[in-house]
Amino acid sequence: MLCKNRITLIGFLGQDAETRSTPNGATYTRLSLATSVSWKEKGGSEYKTRTEWHRVISWNKLAEWAGTLQKGAYVEVEGELRYREYTPSESNHSIRVVEIHASSILALDRSESEPASSAEAEPADEPVDGSDGRACDFPIGCPACLFVFEADT
């Protein structure tokens, strides 16, 4: 029997990334990602929009890179959906939260220092290095080879 827990979200960050460490030294970064959908109701002339907010968690090297993301960044996140429960110290009731544990993050913004057409106009000078599967030294979203940074598994 095949089971699959995979989610892909494309949206904008609502605040700067927040990087922290666990007591045992593991680095993680938390992102607040907004996605939205718009529709026009039957017989209506105005569009309605619903925005959903998602908590995204990344770990280790992916977390180090994700920590550089700022409010307003346009990103694609792939990962798995996880549920977690905790009880706040000032309460007797447990709270259940939903998190997306990211396995890859792709920056969809174009670099402000790079003209929009340069990535498409100039072919990559270096061939893909097959030794480690990486095409270049960009940490994520390389415009020349479309490499996506993936989390260590």
CATH number of the domain encompassing residue 89: 2.40.50.140
Q: Do the beta carbons of residue 9 and residue 103 sit within 8 Å?
A: no
Residue 29 lies in a domain: yes
Residue 118 lies in a domain: no
Residue 21 lies in a domain: yes
What are 72-127's pLDDT values in tens digits?
Answer: 999 999 999 999 999 989 989 999 999 999 999 999 986 555 444 333 333 344 33
Residue 33 lies in a domain: yes
> Of 145, 87, 123, 102, which Cα lies nearest the Cα of 13?
102
What are 1-13's pLDDT values in tens digits?
Answer: 899 999 999 999 9
Residue 130 lies in a domain: no
The runs of H, that is alpha helices, within the chain are 60-66, 118-121
Residue 149 lies in a domain: no
Number of domains in the chain: 1
CA separation for the pair 62, 55 (Å, rounded): 16
Which pTM does this prediction carry? 0.68
Domain that holds residue 66: 7-39+46-111
Q: Do the beta carbons of residue 93 and residue 86 sit within 8 Å?
A: no
